[in-house]
Amino acid sequence: MPKMDSEDVELPLLWGKALKWIGPEKGVVHLATAAVLNALWDLWAKQEGKPLWKLLVDMDPKVLVSCMDFRYISDALTEEEAYEMLRKGRVGSREREAQMLAQGYPAYTTSCAWLGYPDNTLKQLCSRALQDGWTRFKVKVGADLQDDIRRCRLIRDMIGPEKTLMMDANQRWDVPEAVEWMVKLAEFKPLWIEEPTSPDDILGHATISKALAPLGIGVATGEQCHNRVMFKQLLQAKALQFLQIDSCRLGSVNESLSVLLMAHKFGIPVCPHAGGVGLCELVQHLIIFDYIAVSASLENRMCEYVDHLHEHFKYPVLIQKASYMPPKDAGYSTEMKESSVKEHQFPGGAVWKKLLAGREN
């Protein structure tokens, strides 16, 4: 056996500790894990010649359970419970699959009401969305109360009282401020307020949820939720009424599966976050699987849709009548066009060259 220097032993240990310092199961380590595992799920689905949602729907419940990590969440969800949920989810799954293929999964639009849009732009985008059949709208709030009141009134007047309105504060408020602000926006009948405070403040979300319940306003959060353990605590603390998984922040499909099942056990609808590059393409698979094989419900359930950057993907989402139509191409819809990858490569891609040249000037 060759002799090993102390450095040969210590360096791997130091690297392991260093990686733990930027994790574990959160931050850059977890994001990188999600990227690698998402790619593997894409390859697995392509190998089977199925879109990812169909791969999951057809998979034996025992195999699905074997893909999940139950460490730290067994007080909320056991392997036995997960298996039983998936087994029961098979009842009626063929009919639900046919329904999805015919009608798609309901979506809501975030594209109409970003902060900073002038009123004319808000009106034009809302009018166009209504013409395209959208019935669920989300508006950004939190910068200025009087501006929020004016914008929410404008949008509510345009979409009417029967359509669904949600609000998103993107973590702007402290807990008391969130409650006070939403009391003043309650007249516009929002279904939820999204990310009202720090995404790490589980008890703060619970306080806000309790305070807003009499007003019929739920709390939605999850796009910044690091892992299944945080989701477990949010559920146990009754801190959210709408759970928003992110397909690239959680540890890929594996961790998303356990969160979908916990949400089902606690009776909380999943309404995925899809506001970033490629998130619509990925998360559609997870939520379609959830309906067919887990929740079997569309009540108060919808998936976010943002209409930008889909042109960079080989298999972009297909929206019809404000619904996600199930992908039919094999894989996880993650593959980007070669031309887009080349243009955005750092530092030699055309996009980066232009940006760097602008800085020099």
Catalytic residues: 140, 273
Residue 220, strand partner residues:
194, 242
Q: Please list, in sequence order, all residues whose beta carbon lies within 8 angstroms of the beta carbon of residue 19, skipping any fewer than 6 positions away.
A: 29
181-to-56, 169, 204, 211, 339 alpha-carbon distances in Å: 42, 10, 15, 12, 46
73/266 Cα distance (integer angstroms): 13
Measured at the alpha carbon of residue 50, what is the angle toward residues 258 and 29, in degrees to the nearest 5?
Answer: 40
Radius of gyration of the chain from its Cα atoms, rounded to whole angstroms: 22
CB 274 within 8 A of CB 283: yes
303-to-122, 291, 294 alpha-carbon distances in Å: 21, 12, 16
223/249 Cα distance (integer angstroms): 7
26/23 Cα distance (integer angstroms): 5
Q: Please list, in sequence order, all residues whose beta carbon lies within 8 angstroms of the beta carbon of residue 27, skipping any fewer than 6 positions away.
A: 226
43/51 Cα distance (integer angstroms): 10
